[in-house]
């Protein structure tokens, strides 16, 4: 398949028009490799580990959620040089779907809702609210790691979820107004926790977003590389 054909397919899946403004020039074909692609791999981040595995797998295309070139560069040195060298030397393409995939139907938040078996979904500006029958312990189990509670979470009936770094006060107010009992996201800040209008559940960024990339890979028959950041609780 020509890379153009692949891009057209991805654009149908997660149209770039759905992306936030800050993603301009940071989604789509971020590194251009060979034009003809047959072997596609997928991961959440283009880490050195992931890129190495993709090279070993002779991938022509790597699809990720987070661009490795977020800050515009005028120099390719250090880690960035190493990563770009690995990709470019292998003539591998790198394709990024970020907030366009967050917002897309069947995208990041939808995958998370599915993983948590949410029912009767109400959309929010970002993420959604759904009826949950899971306890906090079961949520942790589904997400495959520990979670952290901010505020006492009693019975959860309606759970708001925002994959990624979604503890935004405005979004949390929206969740409360729309009837949520708890708010699941990642990267809680002290100042935000202090003013949270509803109990919050903090998971890791990876745990909330990786399922969407894994599900995408499975559905498309791509190889998925799991590479969670090392993370361990000392109680």
Chain residues that interact with its own copies, rule: CB under 8 A = 25-26, 28-33, 45, 47, 66-67, 69-79, 81, 84-85, 88-89, 91, 136-137, 139-140, 146-152, 165, 186-191, 193-195, 204-206, 229-235
Find the shortest distance in angstroms from Cβ 221 to its own copies.
Answer: 26
- 175, two tokens: 């969740």
Contacts of 90 (CB under 8 A, 6+ apart): 33, 54, 55, 59
Q: What are phi and psi for residue 152, nearest 5 degrees?
A: -75, 120
Q: Which is nearer to its own copies, 133 or 149 (CB)?
A: 149
Find the shortest distance in angstroms from Cβ 74 to its own copies.
Answer: 5
Q: Which is nearer to its own copies, 15 or 151 (CB)?
A: 151
Find the shortest distance in angstroms from Cβ 139 to its own copies.
Answer: 8
Find the shortest distance in angstroms from Cβ 206 to its own copies.
Answer: 6
The whole-angstrom separation of Cα 202 and Cα 6 is 35
The whole-angstrom separation of Cα 157 and Cα 120 is 11
Find the shortest distance in angstroms from Cβ 35 to its own copies.
Answer: 12
Q: Which is nearer to its own copies, 56 or 233 (CB)?
A: 233
Say if residues 67 and 33 touch (Cβ distance below 8 Å): no
Q: Which is nearer to its own copies, 128 or 188 (CB)?
A: 188
Find the shortest distance in angstroms from Cβ 164 to its own copies.
Answer: 8
List beta partners, residue 185: 202
Say if residues 41 and 53 touch (Cβ distance below 8 Å): yes
What is the sign, positive or negative, of the torsion defined by CA atoms of 13, 17, 21, 25? positive
**Alpha carbon distances (Å) from 138 to 16, 144, 230:** 35, 10, 22
Q: Which is nearer to its own copies, 9 or 82 (CB)?
A: 82
Find the shortest distance in angstroms from Cβ 163 to its own copies.
Answer: 11
Contacts of 111 (CB under 8 A, 6+ apart): 163, 211, 212, 215, 216
Q: Provide the CA 119 distance to its chain's centre, in angstroms.
A: 21
Q: Which is nearer to its own copies, 121 or 136 (CB)?
A: 136
Q: Which is nearer to its own copies, 20 or 121 (CB)?
A: 20
Three-class SS of residue 24? coil
């Amino acid at each position: 398949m020509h890379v153009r054909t692949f891009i057209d397919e991805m654009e149908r899946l997660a149209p770039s028009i759905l992306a936030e403004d800050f993603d301009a020039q940071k989604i789509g074909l971020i590194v251009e490799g060979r034009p003809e692609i047959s072997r596609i791999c997928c991961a959440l981040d283009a880490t050195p580990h992931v890129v190495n595995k993709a090279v070993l797998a002779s991938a022509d295309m790597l699809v990720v959620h987070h661009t490795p070139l977020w800050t515009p560069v005028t120099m390719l040195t250090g880690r960035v040089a190493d990563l770009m060298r690995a990709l470019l030397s292998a003539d591998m393409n790198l394709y990024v779907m970020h907030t366009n995939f967050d917002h897309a139907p069947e995208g990041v938040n939808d995958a998370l809702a599915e993983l948590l078996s949410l029912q009767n979904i109400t959309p929010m500006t970002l993420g959604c609210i759904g009826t949950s029958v899971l306890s906090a312990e079961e949520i942790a189990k589904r997400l495959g790691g520990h979670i952290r509670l901010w505020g006492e979470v009693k019975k959860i009936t309606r759970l708001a979820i925002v994959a990624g770094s979604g503890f935004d006060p405005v979004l949390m107010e929206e969740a409360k107004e729309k009837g949520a009992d708890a708010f699941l996201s990642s990267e809680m800040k002290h100042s935000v926790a202090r003013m949270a209008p509803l109990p919050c559940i903090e998971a890791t960024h990876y745990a909330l977003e990786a399922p969407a990339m894994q599900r995408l890979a499975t559905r498309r028959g791509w190889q998925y590389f799991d590479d969670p950041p090392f993370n361990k609780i000392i109680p």
